[in-house]
Structure 1
């Protein structure tokens, strides 16, 4: 029994030494990366000084002339409402195509304020200038 245990220990030690000396397997070849461009389109409407009324429909616009050839997430953008420094959980539009440069939204029912802005998400998130929304609840 002692002889068998000793042989097993020696065999295990030898196998361990061989494994340590063997070269590591080559990593699998990396898949070719797809070219991706980050695009931050400039929002042109609503502009600073714009006034919206809750419940009315408006056309949000952004610049498209500087769009790169490959726009990551070009057909899955969305627009959120922002108040001051806080993004609100209000999605005004979703599944938008960034290359269109515009989308119609309905001004949400919010407290009247002049620190609202829109956040355009596609392959990046950017927001436009602050504007006013006249909501059903004046302050």
Structure 2
């Protein structure tokens, strides 16, 4: 008969954390070809939709943003527009699986979209993000970091 000692969840969590930290701090024999590059985030202010705008499901609407003063180091102007909603906790609840639009040029200042069939709500937002990604090397750990976006005021879809 084999004996297995009882291990608490906190002990398992401590072991998992230790293994993760060990993986993060191990060093490659050869230097990594990936390094941190200077990149500017461009999160232009969304000018439409405005607070209290109402979008009708199935209609074509224009999402617009301010294109003045982009940063010098923008690496990719391809944009992605996401729909989300505020729930009172500060969470944007972004639908990353179904972008409203993608692969558009942020320098255009607008993109036309078809309003999706979603539950009626007065707390929707849109977020415009750059599709650019930077690869960062931290010893053995490589992470992918995307540009952040900014959100519109809350509006209604009915």
- Name the TM-score, length of structure 1 as normaliser: 0.68
User: How much has 1:115 moved relative to structure 2?
Assistant: 0.5
Name structure 2 gaps, 5 residues minimum. 1-29, 131-146
In the alignment, what sits opposite 1:126? 150
Largest Rg, 1 or 2: 1
- Higher RCO by CA contacts (8 Å cutoff, separation 6 or greater): 2
SS at match of 1:99: helix
User: How much has 1:57 moved relative to structure 2?
Assistant: 0.4
Aligned counterparts of 2:126 and 2:74: Cα–Cα separation in 1: 20
In the alignment, what sits opposite 2:26? none
In the alignment, what sits opposite 1:80? 82
Aligned counterparts of 2:122 and 2:110: Cα–Cα separation in 1: 22
Of the three residues 99, 102, 126, the one matched with 2:110 is 102
SS at match of 1:90: coil
Aligned counterparts of 2:36 and 2:99: Cα–Cα separation in 1: 32
Aligned counterparts of 1:31 and 1:82: Cα–Cα separation in 2: 33
Tell me the C-alpha RMSD between the 2 structures.
2.2
- Name the TM-score, length of structure 2 as normaliser: 0.60
User: How much has 1:130 moved relative to structure 2?
Assistant: 0.5
Of the three residues 117, 124, 127, the one matched with 2:125 is 117
